[in-house]
Amino acid sequence: MKTLFKLFAILLILTSCVKYTGKKTLSLSGEYRIDKITYEEVEGGNNLVFYPGDLYVNPNETFPMDSIEVGFTRIHMDYSMIRFNPIDYPSGETQWQNEYYYFVHGQYTAYDYGYIKFDCDGTRRVWKIIDDTAEGLVLRTSGGWDNGNSGTKEVTTMVLSRVGP
């Protein structure tokens, strides 16, 4: 009887240590600064990394990805809108010039954060959410854009740091 009780206790302890693997709740709301951009040509092999102080210019892209001052460009997101081009007033108020509604699609498992999709001046933008932490966010253009010149596919990864609520 004691052996059966010990076996039952060990079995209970081992089966109670199951890791929960439910979906993570995204915390996209906040103000972010773009701190690093990695540009890759999938087929051409041209890889560039831009750090704070660098200017990322891509003539093959449209707004907001065509010209980014790394370390200075800010983006604001709440639960339904993504905002670009801030104007800071001396009173401390910030007004955002460009606002677009977005939605998150494809967050089906605990290991996939999904995609941010929004229409920006007639162009559909799709960013894959690579990582979402309390301090930042990592986004990637979803699958390479054809730049129209030589059929080269481009993938851009942005590392953002949360700088405000």
Least confident of 13-17, 21-25, 131-135: 21-25
Angle at the Cα of 147 from the Cα atoms of 145 and 149, rounded to 5 degrees: 150
- In this prediction, residue 150 has a pLDDT band, given cuts at 50, 70 and 90, of very low
**Whole-number Cα distances in Å, 71 to 37, 50, 63, 67, 151:** 10, 10, 18, 13, 30
Question: What span, in angstroms and rounded, lies between the C-alpha atoms of 18 and 160?
Answer: 33
pLDDT greater than 50 at residue 125? yes
Do 117 and 100 contact (CB within 8 A), yes or no? Answer: no
To the nearest whole percent, how much of the chain has pLDDT over 90? 47
CB neighbour list of residue 60: distance below 8 Å, 6 or more residues apart: 145, 147, 148, 149, 154
Give the pLDDT confidence of 77-98 residue by residue, as tens digits.
Answer: 998 999 999 999 999 899 999 9
Please indicate whether residue 76 or residue 154 has the higher confidence score (pLDDT).
76
CB atoms near residue 75 (< 10 Å): 22
Give the pLDDT confidence of 30-53 residue by residue, as tens digits.
Answer: 999 999 999 988 777 788 999 999
Please give the pLDDT value at position 130.
Answer: 93
**Whole-number Cα distances in Å, 69 to 56, 101, 104, 108, 125:** 6, 23, 26, 34, 19
Please give the pLDDT value at position 129.
Answer: 93
Of 56, 23, 7, nearest to 158 by C-alpha is 56
| Mean pLDDT on 148-164 | 79
Please give the pLDDT value at position 142.
Answer: 59
**Whole-number Cα distances in Å, 102 to 61, 69, 118, 127, 143:** 19, 23, 4, 11, 19
Q: Which CATH number, 1.10.3470, 2.40.128, 2.30.29, 1.10.1060, labels domain 27-164?
A: 2.40.128
Please give the pLDDT value at position 20.
Answer: 62
